[in-house]
Structure 1
Amino acid sequence: MSTIPDQLQSVRQSLEAETENQAVIARQAIVDENRAVFGYELFDRSRTIETHTAESDAALLFNALSFADAESLVSKKLVFINCTHDSLAGGHLELVHPDKVVLEVPPIPGNVPEDIEARAVLLEDLRKRGFRFAFNHTVLTRGYASWRTLASFVKLDMMALKPEMVQPFVRFAQANTTAQLIAEKVETSEQHQLLASYGIKLFQGYWFAKPSLVKAQTIRPSQATILQLINLVRKQATTAEIEDLLKKDPTLSFNLLRFINSSGFGLSCEITSFRHAVMILGLKKLFRWAALLMTTSRNGGAPPAVGQTAVVRGRLMELLAAELLSQEECDNAFVVGVFSLLDTMLGVPLDKALESMALPQPVLDALLRRTGVFAPFLELTEACESGNDEVFARTANALHLSNKQVNWAHLQALTWAESFGE
Structure 2
Amino acid sequence: MSDTQASASPLPSTEAAADPAASDLVVIARQAILDDKRAVYGYELFDRSVAASSHTAASDAALLFNALSFAGSEALGDRKTVFINCTHESLVGRHLELIHPERVVLEVPILGANAEPEQIERLLPILGDLRARGFRIAFNQDVLRRAYTSWLPHASFIKLDLQAFKPELAEPLVKFARAHSEARLVAEKVETAEQYERMAALGVKLFQGYWFAQPTVVKAQTIRPSQATILQLINLVRKQAAVTEIEELLKKDPTLSFNLLRFINSSGFGLSVEITSFRHAVMILGLKKLFRWAALLLTTSRNTGSPPAVGQTAVVRGRLMELLAAELLPPDECDNAFVVGVFSLLDVMLGIPLQQALETVALPQSVVDALMHGTGVFAPFLELTRACESGDDAAFARTAEALHLSNRQVNWAHLQALAWAESLLEQGD
TM-score class, shorter-chain normalisation, is: over 0.9
> Secondary structure of 1:167's partner?
helix
Cα deviations across residues 61-83 of structure 1 (Å, max 9, x unaligned)?
11111111322321121000000
> Does 2:395 match 1:391?
yes
Please, which of 19, 23, 30 is the counterpart of residue 20 of structure 1? 23
Cα deviations across residues 323-372 of structure 1 (Å, max 9, x unaligned)?
11112211111100000011111111111111111111111111111111
Residue in structure 2 matched with residue 172 of structure 1 by the alignment: 176
Please, which of 32, 52, 57 is the counterpart of residue 54 of structure 1? 57
> Does 2:75 match 1:68?
no
Residue in structure 2 matched with residue 95 of structure 1 by the alignment: 98
Moved more, 163-172 or 152-161: 163-172
- Structure 2: distance between partners of 1:54 and 1:42: 15
> Does 2:368 match 1:356?
no
- Structure 1: distance between partners of 2:117 and 2:210: 35
Q: Is 2:236–2:246's contact at 8 Å kept on the other side of the alignment?
A: yes
Please, which of 314, 318, 332 is the counterpart of residue 318 of structure 2? 314
Please, which of 98, 105, 108 is the counterpart of residue 108 of structure 2? 105
| Aligned residue runs from structure 1 range 216-231, under 5 A | 216-231=220-235
Question: Aligned partner of 1:75: which letter?
Answer: D
Aligned in 2, Cα 1:117/1:79: closer, same or farther, shift over 3 Å? Answer: same
Give 1:301 deviation, angstroms. 8.0
Q: Is 2:34–2:206's contact at 8 Å kept on the other side of the alignment?
A: yes
Residue in structure 2 matched with residue 11 of structure 1 by the alignment: none
Please, which of 243, 265, 270 is the counterpart of residue 261 of structure 1? 265
Residue in structure 1 matched with residue 42 of structure 2 by the alignment: 39
> Secondary structure of 2:146's partner?
coil
Q: Is 1:106–1:135's contact at 8 Å kept on the other side of the alignment?
A: yes
| Aligned residue runs from structure 1 range 270-309, under 5 A | 270-300=274-304, 304-309=308-313
- Structure 1: distance between partners of 2:312 and 2:51: 33
| Aligned residue runs from structure 1 range 323-402, under 5 A | 323-402=327-406
> Does 2:282 match 1:249?
no
Residue in structure 2 matched with residue 115 of structure 1 by the alignment: 119
Moved more, 160-169 or 149-158: 160-169
- Structure 2: distance between partners of 1:302 and 1:382: 23
Aligned in 2, Cα 1:405/1:66: closer, same or farther, shift over 3 Å? Answer: same
- Across the aligned residues of Structure 1 and Structure 2, the Cα RMSD in angstroms comes to 1.5
Aligned in 2, Cα 1:419/1:302: closer, same or farther, shift over 3 Å? Answer: closer
Residue in structure 1 matched with residue 417 of structure 2 by the alignment: 413
- Structure 1: distance between partners of 2:243 and 2:19: 37
> Secondary structure of 1:67's partner?
helix
> Secondary structure of 1:111's partner?
coil
Q: Is 2:307–2:425's contact at 8 Å kept on the other side of the alignment?
A: no
- Structure 2: distance between partners of 1:102 and 1:17: 30
Q: How many residues align?
A: 408
- Structure 2: distance between partners of 1:167 and 1:330: 65
Question: Aligned partner of 1:234: which letter?
Answer: R
TM-score (norm 2): 0.92
Give 1:18 deviation, angstroms. 5.5
Aligned in 2, Cα 1:36/1:162: closer, same or farther, shift over 3 Å? Answer: same
- Structure 2: distance between partners of 1:273 and 1:419: 24
Give 1:299 deviation, angstroms. 2.1
Q: Is 1:98–1:132's contact at 8 Å kept on the other side of the alignment?
A: yes
- Structure 2: distance between partners of 1:18 and 1:358: 30
Moved more, 92-101 or 409-418: 409-418
Residue in structure 1 matched with residue 205 of structure 2 by the alignment: 201
- Structure 1: distance between partners of 2:345 and 2:80: 33
- Structure 2: distance between partners of 1:367 and 1:187: 48
Aligned in 2, Cα 1:48/1:122: closer, same or farther, shift over 3 Å? Answer: closer
Give 1:163 deviation, angstroms. 2.1
> Secondary structure of 1:358's partner?
coil
> Does 2:80 match 1:77?
yes
- Structure 2: distance between partners of 1:84 and 1:16: 25
Q: Percent identity?
A: 73
> Secondary structure of 1:28's partner?
strand
- Structure 2: distance between partners of 1:347 and 1:75: 24
TM-score (norm 1): 0.94
Q: Is 1:220–1:301's contact at 8 Å kept on the other side of the alignment?
A: no
Q: Is 1:221–1:302's contact at 8 Å kept on the other side of the alignment?
A: no
Gaps of 5+ in 1: 1-14
Aligned in 2, Cα 1:50/1:329: closer, same or farther, shift over 3 Å? Answer: farther
Give 1:165 deviation, angstroms. 2.1
Give 1:240 deviation, angstroms. 1.1
Q: Is 1:366–1:374's contact at 8 Å kept on the other side of the alignment?
A: yes
Displaced runs of 4 or more, over 3 A: 15-18, 47-50
Give 1:145 deviation, angstroms. 1.9
Give 1:205 deviation, angstroms. 0.3
> Secondary structure of 1:143's partner?
helix
